[in-house]
Structure 1
């Protein structure tokens, strides 16, 4: 093997090693993010023990909610219908008097987002749901989000925004809402809030 070939081969190996390290670092970074891992209907304490994000205990005999003590992502761990959200700053886990989880309300973001970033989040969530067998419902009134000129005009309208509902069989329902938000830290930018609610079905298909 010539010296030129050896140099080229070494460079190739070095590039592969760097790529592997970067991939490993990205995976490790994602796995290090605090998360709340849960299923609707399970004992609240089981969620607390499983999750890497710290969250307070349920209150015996009371129907209430708790908030994680740091930014955290939701990992919905149903073996068929599971999905993962980005990190969230607003995040509540509700429980009933039986101390079982009855719902989640969250905003899957840590600050109001620009429109392009907002669409990336909602379209990724919809793709996860679609791939896991969730089905959009009431689509004539509440169509699924899409990156189209018509949707962008609708979302930019402070009086409209968007909303979509999805069902996972007869087990779960999610509602996803997007609205313009006046962010005083970025007064010249169009910023958006995403709201996600997860529970057992509360509307008909």
Structure 2
């Protein structure tokens, strides 16, 4: 191989290495999991750092940075926006559930509805179904839902089920943001686990 060809090959390898490093540096941290899998499998798959499980204990860990959830079930998978509050529960070194707020800060109502409706759309497309709809119907961008969410002590809850494998509970409520006391801000709570309520 001539030195010119060798130089071209080395430049190609260098450019590829730089591209991989840049991709890794700017990739959004995520926790990638499914309920019921070994906790260590979740840690190895995830790009966000999270502490190890405690053998023989039921507890939880929180990622060491903001991170999005990538629910990697091959049929029922979905992705959330980045979250600041994010707890991964475990029981005897198995992922037992997730509780999180898929947002970095309390949001305005329009932004809150965008996230909630996107999650519901992802669930519908992946085969999740709303349950308990008589008492807790899916969220919608309607005047009635907006009025209910604006109620300081009302808020809303919606339940979803993925076959017989998982349930999700989505809750939206008003939240007093001390940084913006004059604004209506909202907090989303998402919980995912094996089914725990009757459909």
Q: TM-score normalised to the size of structure 1?
A: 0.84
Instruction: Extract unaligned runs of 5+ from structure 1.
Output: 1-27
The aligned runs of 1:1-205 (5 Å cut-off) are: 32-97=27-92, 99-205=93-199
Partner deviation per Cα, 1:136-161 (whole Å, 9 max, x = no partner): 00101000000000000000001110
TM-superposed deviation, 1:87: 0.2
Deviating runs (4+, > 3 A) in structure 1?
none
TM-superposed deviation, 1:101: 0.4
What's 2:20 paired with?
A: none
TM-superposed deviation, 1:96: 0.4
For the residue of structure 1 that corresponds to 2:54, the secondary structure is coil
TM-superposed deviation, 1:43: 0.3
| Alignment partners' CA distance in 1, 2:184 and 2:172 | 13
TM-superposed deviation, 1:61: 1.2
TM-superposed deviation, 1:200: 0.3
| Alignment partners' CA distance in 2, 1:160 and 1:204 | 23
| Alignment partners' CA distance in 1, 2:108 and 2:183 | 8
For the residue of structure 2 that corresponds to 1:126, the secondary structure is helix
| Alignment partners' CA distance in 2, 1:160 and 1:130 | 25
